[in-house]
Structure 1
Amino acid sequence: MKTTESIDLQKASQILKLLGDKTRLTMMKLLESHDCCVCEFVAIFKMSQPAISQHLRKLRDIELVKEERRGQWIFYSINQEHGDYPLISSILHHLPDQGGSISDLEEQGLRVCCE
């Protein structure tokens, strides 16, 4: 049996609570294979920019996502260096692919609407 490093229960609880929100869980699944900016999430989730920013702030606050400035825009990606990334990755592995949302954005000409 392969042994893996265990994580703190408090930390695991915090991560699972954040990922218990369908929007944040879907964001993480999307970020697993695509960097996205706020405007793309606004289009995918049909939510306001402030609502999307709040979800991203919660994920950023515990460093599950990282941001990179590209020009005037900020793109988000999963922080694979996070100490608990193996837990997050194993959760995301069991979820359905969300690439269709990205394809829909591309078809609508919204994939890179902020560059």
Structure 2
Amino acid sequence: MDNVEVMAKQLKAVSDPNRLKLLACLKKGELCACDFVGVLNISQPAVSQQLRKLKEAGMILERPAGTWKHYRLNDKLPPYIQAIIDQLEEIIIIKCEC
């Protein structure tokens, strides 16, 4: 995949309000997939689909932990994506006990 295709995929990933909310939540650090259900008010499968799109775009990293997966921002984001994330207001959520 060339640079223009990667950029297009990443910009498409940040063009969705739910995915922007996920990125805003992750500004504080790693979170479990179940933590996002209450923030987005969508089902767990729908949350997983949004997280998958961010992961495929290389914007978040995934770590399995038992039956759940934990996510965090990729430390190596391009400056244009980091600038978008920097502009997002942090969303503070209560972490689940999984």
> TM-score, normalised on structure 1?
0.73
Matched residue type, 1:66: L
Aligned to 1:88: 81
Q: 2:28, 2:80 → 1: CA distance? A: 17
Structure 2 unpaired stretches of 5+: none
Which string of whole-angstrom CA distances, capped at 9 and with x for unpartnered residues, describes residues 5-49 of structure 1? xxx333222211110100001101211212111211112111101
Identity among equivalent positions (%) equals 32
Identify which of structures 1 and 2 has the higher relative contact order when contacts are C-alpha pairs closer than 8 Å and 6+ apart: 2
Matched residue type, 2:87: H
Larger Rg: 1
Aligned to 1:113: 97
Which string of whole-angstrom CA distances, capped at 9 and with x for unpartnered residues, describes residues 56-112 of structure 1? 111111221111122332100011124x2x22211111222212xx1xx2xxxxx12
Aligned to 1:38: 33
Aligned to 2:24: 29
Structure 1 unpaired stretches of 5+: 1-7, 106-110
C-alpha root-mean-square deviation of aligned residues, in Å? 1.8
Q: Is the 8 A contact 1:39 1:113 kept in 2?
A: no
Matched residue type, 2:84: I
1:20 aligns with one of 9, 12, 15: 15
The number of residue pairs the alignment matches comes to 97
> TM-score, normalised on structure 2?
0.84
Aligned to 1:56: 51
Aligned to 1:3: none
4+ residue segments displaced more than 6 Å: none
Q: 1:63, 1:10 → 2: CA distance? A: 13
Q: Is the 8 A contact 2:29 2:73 kept in 1?
A: no
